[in-house]
Amino acid sequence: MNLTRRQWIKTGAQLTAASMLPWSLWADQPQVPHINIQARETTASWLAAPTPIWAYNQPKLTLQQGVMQTIRVTNHLPEPTTIHWHGVRVGNAMDGVSGLTQAPIEPGASFDYQIMSPDAGTFWFHSHHNTIEQLARGLYGALVVSGNDEPHFERDWSLLIDDWNLSRNGRIDPVFANRHNQSHAGRMGNFLTINHHAGPWQGQANAGERIRLRLINTSTNRILQLHAQFPGALWLAKDGQPLTIPEPIPEVIILGPGERWDLGWIAREEGQLLEVSGADSLLVGQVEVNPVENTDVPAFPDAMALPSNPMSPLSASVNQRVPVILEGGAMGRLQTAQYLEESHSFRELAAKGQFWAISGQTGMPEEPLFRARQGESVELVLDNRTAFPHTMHWHGHHVWANGRWQDSLTLLRGQKQSVRLVAGNPGKWLIHCHMIDHQATGMMTWFEVA
Ligand code: C2O
Ligand code: CU
């Protein structure tokens, strides 16, 4: 189907209803100048001695909703890499999954990603090749897609919160894959950064200003537990998708790896963000508020609600129901699972470094977990039969869970939950645990949209 922009505007409503997604429809738009991203080795000044890390030269990208953008990624690392645009409903060939949607970018080479986000909101980008090491070394950034009708905020801050595992010498612990961590909750860190800087992060605002805070958990394995003391703040969006009605913020925000929360706040008095998952609570950031009221700031219309994105509506009926059974790990009850198309006992799997399974399969299976036609409605019946929490992530799609669209969902141990997905974008899409230690040891599968 090849529509002009004009026709799209005319037939937009019908198309959305028919779950036709808009990416192909902007194809004739003028291109904007391309963005260059360099993946390279660098150092961070967190402690007395510099810490070697890997990072992108652009820690934050801002794209415009619905505008095609070329992003040229050049690899200056000593090994191949790719970039995945987490949560952005990109074309499949641009999804950045090494080995599934593209060959990795070799050292010294470049790759042009053509990215057009149909959604405005908070996303992030990160390496999706040897992720267990490359993400832990710092290869990630914030991706903000701004929409045309969003309310104006005087301050718009993205906080990439990361949990690094540093050795005594201040360097990143070089043991990225450790069997004990992998079969338990994953490698946990001991040093928190915000936007690749040592915390706490500091913000400054004038009284009465409207603030948008975008919280992004880039940790490889840690589920952050955030206590947000911003009096009167509201929860505006999850994983880039606005809540229908902004909600008050819970006492503790459970933010699994890869998950994002957008908060809206009118600054009246100082605000603080604490991380309380460890024994002591850590100050992540604080906002100082200059008490002189800025009287030019108009009141917020509709309690700061963000305009919704063009999501395909859920139909009343379900075309297929797919069990997504999470099994394995230490203290789990996994007996056997398929690995490389053969059945193995848990002991054999463990010997091959595979600890986790999804619906009886470990590692990337040959066959997808399910196939769906575009527009089909799929119910995923998630069942966490392990002794650990998992943050499941869907590529190219958001699922409807707890009355919200989400691309990442944290399931506590033993938790069962059904979520709904509308097969949109054609292609091969991953489903995996975003605790990278689990993903790397089996908790990964895929689905195909035809
Ligand atoms: Cu954030 Cu498969 O990735
Ligand atoms: Cu997991």
Helix (H/G/I), strand (E/B), else coil: 28: coil
Residues touching ligand 1 (Cβ under 6 Å) are 84, 86, 126, 128, 258, 393, 395, 430, 432, 434
User: Residue 303 C-alpha to ligand 1 middle, in angstroms?
Assistant: 32
Residues with CB under 5 A from ligand 2 (ion): 390, 433, 435, 438
Ligand in closest contact with the CA of 439: 2
pLDDT value at position 148? Answer: 86
Give the pLDDT score at 291. 86
Return the percent helix, strand and coil in the chain, to nearest 5.
10, 45, 45
pLDDT at 297: 61
pLDDT score recorded for residue 69: 95
111, amino acid identity: F
Atom nearest to 439 CA in ligand 1? 2
**pLDDT of 5:** 32
Say which ligand is closest to the CA of 125. Answer: 1
Minimal CA–CA distance to 308: which of 391, 242, 213, 353? 242
Distance from C-alpha of 115 to C-alpha of 67, rounded to nearest angstrom: 8
Q: Measured in angstroms, how far is the CA atom of residue 87 from the centroid of ligand 1?
A: 8
The CA distance from 119 to 109, in Å, is 30
Q: Which residue's CA lies nearest to atom 1 of ligand 1?
A: 86
Residue 408 CA: nearest ligand 1 atom is 1
Residue 354 CA to ligand 2 centre (angstroms)? 13
| Distance of CA 434 from the midpoint of ligand 2 (Å) | 6
**pTM of the prediction?**
0.91
**CA of residue 438 to ligand 2 center, whole Å:** 5
Ligand nearest to the CA of 413: 2
Provide the token pair at 166.
Answer: 């540093």
Cβ atoms of residues 329 and 183 within 8 Å = yes
Amino acid, single-letter form, for residue 212: R
State the pLDDT at residue 31.
59
pLDDT in 10s for each residue of the chain, 450 residues = 233 332 323 333 333 333 344 444 445 555 577 999 999 999 999 999 999 999 999 999 999 999 999 999 999 999 999 999 999 999 999 999 999 999 999 999 999 999 999 999 999 999 999 999 999 999 999 999 999 889 989 999 999 999 999 999 999 999 999 999 999 999 999 999 999 999 899 999 999 899 999 999 999 999 999 999 999 999 999 999 999 999 999 999 999 999 999 999 999 899 999 999 988 899 999 999 998 776 666 666 556 889 999 998 888 899 999 999 999 999 998 899 999 989 999 999 999 999 999 999 999 999 999 999 999 999 999 999 999 999 999 999 999 999 999 999 999 999 999 999 999 999 999 999 999 999 999 999 999 999
Work out the number of other CB atoms within 10 angstroms of the CB of residue 146: 13
Q: Which listed ligand is nearest to 98 at the C-alpha?
A: 1
Q: How far is the CA of 390 from the centre of ligand 2 (A)?
A: 4
pLDDT attached to residue 298: 60
Looking at residue 441, its pLDDT comes to: 96
Ligand 1, atom 3, lies closest to the CA of 86
Give distance in angstroms: CA of 22 to centre of ligand 2: 32
Ligand 1 atom nearest residue 126's Cα: 1
